[in-house]
Structure 1
Amino acid sequence: MKKVSLYFENGLFLEAKSFGAEGTAVGEIVFNTSLTGYQEIVTDPSYAGQFVTFTMPEIGNVGCNEQDMESKGAHCKGIIVRSYQARPSNFRSEETLAELLEKENVLGITEIDTRFLTKMLRNEGSMMMVASTQIHDESELKKVLENSPRIEEINYIEQVSTKEPYVHTEARYNAQTFEYEKPVTSKKIIALDFGIKRNILNELTHAGMEVTVVPNSMSAAEIISKFKGKEIDGVFLSNGPGDPLILKEEQEKIKKLIDAKVPLFGICLGHQLLSIAHGYDTYKLKFGHHGGNHPVKNTATGTVEITAQNHNYNVPDNIVEVAEVTHMNLFDNTIEGLRYNDSPTMSVQHHPEASPGPHESAYIFTAFREML
């Protein structure tokens, strides 16, 4: 393992060991409390532009495989772990985590106190950092960080969105047969790709929807034409990376879809963009919600669901002026789900496809199909 040097915008300088790719990378550091699913996290496009600190100390134990990829590659700037296991033991393993990171040009950082980093982020909030296997001078790293754009200044969805439309043909993965189920569909939807996860697509098709994934650049006029021509029944707005407030074109597009009464369902970034399109700007949480253990209450049934989460931004409380709150986070009482009053539109902040995590929120996909 090579030496890697880290410099944080609060002035902290640390040294550790590297695995995976080499080089220099700048991004925002967050922490994730999931006990399992490191490959799903690494390949989630919503982490584009970020370093992920794992609170689970042992990472790499089960290796990586194609079936657990949430997208076609890895999108985070790097991962930070207490102890990396270079010799995985699992019958599904096809390559090590280090091999995946090297292939995807993602830094791996280990032999570092992740408890300390997590407490620092809890107390001071998410912050920018730089990590390098090439530069080890503190003043040089500081200069690199100061001259780099912040995550809220970069439109990462242009990097992670699909370039060409495609039809998703898989449904939910069956852990007993180790195969994907074949979908039986009754509705057709378009999924606007802001950084969509594979398992979200699996759950949409499992719930009975034929899904055509399209680039984030598809115009509102083309989508509305397909809806009025009965080529589609609704639109899904996907998860994705970065600050939703800078996505002006997407906001305007969604406003037009709302005015045209196109049925809409948003998850994570899609949830946030729907709020902004209704005139209610999002705000940034201190250190975000990243993990697989967040209790969310369904306000209609009183049921508490344990959810997977990955977001730094949240919708404001006064959105109740135009929408009914359907889900609440029991950690901090932030809004987790909405159904709007003026249009057939629903959204959730958490990830009901829950990979990693339980399946108790998967009914939300069925609710969308029923709304269609």
Structure 2
Amino acid sequence: MTQAAVLVLEDGRTFTGEAYGATGTTLGEIVFNTGMTGYQETLTDPSYHRQIVVMTAPHVGNTGVNDEDPESGRIWVAGYVVRDPARRASSWRSRRTLDDELAAQGVVGISGIDTRALTRHLRERGVMRAGVFSGDALATDGERRPTDDLLAEVRSAPAMAGADLAGEVTTQEAYVVEPLGPDGEPLAEPVATVAAVDLGIKAMTPQRMAERGIRVHVLPSTASIDEVLAVQPDGVFFSNGPGDPAAATHEIELLRDVLDRRIPFFGICYGNQLLGRALGFGTYKLGYGHRGVNQPVVDRATGKVEITAHNHGFAVDAPLDGETAAPHDGGRYGRVVVSHVDLNDDVVEGLQALDLPAFSVQYHPEAAAGPHDAAYLFDRFLDLMHDTKGAA
């Protein structure tokens, strides 16, 4: 027997559907993802912490849930919104249905609503706070709660702007991902060592580096510069993650300590935004962000267009054309160029320091579940570490 559910947006618009996954109440920032595949990777991406995700693809759950594709040890989305959930899971790798997995992990969702109308609304009004209510949270003693009460609960939820969330998703203990050879077997000695600061890292990211013979020490977001240096890194990596980069004061200061020592640096997504702020640029909240696996980005150095995987609601505010002196501390970090730009809306998608061994991109080159156009960036990082070491 299906149960009713209602989605309430911060601006008062409501959508009525059926409960999907767990029942109850969930609150968060509502965003939409345009990917037609990879829902399992989306659900387990820590960058979606405190966000209710709307899938724009109408059919979700067709391939069920397996044990090979998660990007972390749990589902991180605050809530899940789909139009037509699969009637049955059909894949040789499937171990359980998506509905059952959401319920088992306590993720409140809603199905059977017009996700196209909802997405158009969010594109026009911008992402906002929302809530999904079902079961006892929607009705008491057989009486449905007034919409005004639900709306007041939504508006009481914290906003994403100003939120410092990396500490809520990071690993609590450092761990090591060992290097692999071309045959996939462990290497006795790494070709390089990287200190990867976990701001919400996806499991495939250190795996992509390990596949290139790199030993990766994954460190908590609270790591100090002494803890970073203790692993004797050839390079430092900052991962993706949730929250407002302006609130990440510790991580920005840590990154400046790295830049001051001229240690090669590579950042993706949140790491790109933190490099921007460390260099002295601002960041700002996008109207509805980029989330999906189909964003066209141009590499301005080569003119090559890559189709890329994205998940971000903030962006770096830097001049698009020409070289710019990094604003921080009188330009002590030298010159910077915007290396990549989104072709849909001219959002900054990458930074390249010209006087430091540091670069970053706003998208996800590890790209589980694809596309893989940007995988070469891990090779570029390895080359940067080797070139810097050779010049020392």
Same topology, TM > 0.5: yes
Tell me what 2:344 maps to: 331
Instruction: Tell me the percent identity.
Output: 40
Tell me what 1:355 maps to: 368
C-alpha displacement of 1:324: 2.1
Tell me what 2:151 maps to: 142
Q: d(CA) in 2 for partners of 1:150 and 1:334? A: 23
SS at match of 2:164: coil
Structure 2 residue aligned with 1:157, among 166, 188, 195?
Answer: 166
SS at match of 1:66: coil
Worse-matched range after superposition: 362-371 or 322-331? 322-331
Runs of 4+ in 1 over 6 A off after TM superposition: none
Residues 35-75 of structure 1: CA distance to partner in whole angstroms, max 9, x if unpaired?
10110111111011111111100000000111110111111
Q: 1:289 touches 1:310 (CA, 8 Å); kept in 2?
A: yes
Q: 1:3 touches 1:16 (CA, 8 Å); kept in 2?
A: yes
Matches within 5 A, 1:227-242: 231-242=232-243
Q: d(CA) in 1 for partners of 2:33 and 2:180? A: 27
SS at match of 1:151: coil
C-alpha displacement of 1:265: 0.6
Q: 2:109 touches 2:132 (CA, 8 Å); kept in 1?
A: no
Confirm whether residue 203 of structure 1 aligns to residue 204 of structure 2.
no
Structure 1 residue aligned with 2:224, among 193, 216, 219?
Answer: 219
Matches within 5 A, 1:153-192: 153-169=162-178, 181-182=184-185, 184=187, 185-192=190-197
Q: d(CA) in 1 for partners of 2:367 and 2:11? A: 34
Matches within 5 A, 1:59-70: 59-70=60-71
Q: d(CA) in 1 for partners of 2:186 and 2:40? A: 25
* Bigger Rg, structure 1 or 2: 2
TM-score by length of structure 2 reads 0.88
Q: 1:170 touches 1:181 (CA, 8 Å); kept in 2?
A: no
Q: d(CA) in 1 for partners of 2:185 and 2:273? A: 31
Counterpart residue identity of residue 194, structure 1? L
Q: 1:208 touches 1:369 (CA, 8 Å); kept in 2?
A: no
Residues 304-352 of structure 1: CA distance to partner in whole angstroms, max 9, x if unpaired?
1111111011111337513122222111122211211232111000111
C-alpha displacement of 1:170: 7.6
Q: d(CA) in 2 for partners of 1:181 and 1:39? A: 25
TM-score by length of structure 1 reads 0.93
Confirm whether residue 343 of structure 1 aligns to residue 356 of structure 2.
yes
Q: 2:164 touches 2:248 (CA, 8 Å); kept in 1?
A: yes
Worse-matched range after superposition: 17-26 or 235-244? 17-26
Counterpart residue identity of residue 191, structure 1? A
Q: d(CA) in 2 for partners of 1:171 and 1:128? A: 43
Q: 1:171 touches 1:201 (CA, 8 Å); kept in 2?
A: no
Pair 1:225–1:93, CA change in 2 (3 A): closer
SS at match of 1:122: helix
Residues 246-286 of structure 1: CA distance to partner in whole angstroms, max 9, x if unpaired?
11111111111111212111000000001011111111111
Tell me what 2:263 maps to: 262
C-alpha displacement of 1:156: 2.1
Q: d(CA) in 2 for partners of 1:268 and 1:111? A: 32
Give unpaired runs (5+ residues) of structure 1. 175-179
Aligned residue pairs, count: 362
Q: d(CA) in 2 for partners of 1:171 and 1:268? A: 25
Q: d(CA) in 2 for partners of 1:370 and 1:76? A: 35
Q: 2:271 touches 2:360 (CA, 8 Å); kept in 1?
A: yes
Q: 1:224 touches 1:262 (CA, 8 Å); kept in 2?
A: no
Worse-matched range after superposition: 213-222 or 30-39? 213-222
Q: 2:9 touches 2:131 (CA, 8 Å); kept in 1?
A: yes
Tell me what 1:177 maps to: none
C-alpha displacement of 1:85: 1.0
Confirm whether residue 371 of structure 1 aligns to residue 384 of structure 2.
yes
Counterpart residue identity of residue 68, structure 1? D
Q: d(CA) in 2 for partners of 1:288 and 1:255? A: 27
Q: 2:43 touches 2:76 (CA, 8 Å); kept in 1?
A: yes
Residues 130-157 of structure 1: CA distance to partner in whole angstroms, max 9, x if unpaired?
1111134211111212222112243221
Worse-matched range after superposition: 190-199 or 253-262? 253-262
Counterpart residue identity of residue 184, structure 2? E
Residues 102-133 of structure 1: CA distance to partner in whole angstroms, max 9, x if unpaired?
22221221000000011001111111111111
Counterpart residue identity of residue 364, structure 1? L
Counterpart residue identity of residue 141, structure 1? L
Worse-matched range after superposition: 25-34 or 249-258? 249-258
Counterpart residue identity of residue 208, structure 1? G
Q: d(CA) in 2 for partners of 1:343 and 1:225? A: 22
Q: d(CA) in 2 for partners of 1:7 and 1:274? A: 36
Q: 1:3 touches 1:17 (CA, 8 Å); kept in 2?
A: yes
Q: 1:86 touches 1:98 (CA, 8 Å); kept in 2?
A: no
Q: d(CA) in 2 for partners of 1:222 and 1:181? A: 29
Tell me what 2:27 maps to: 26
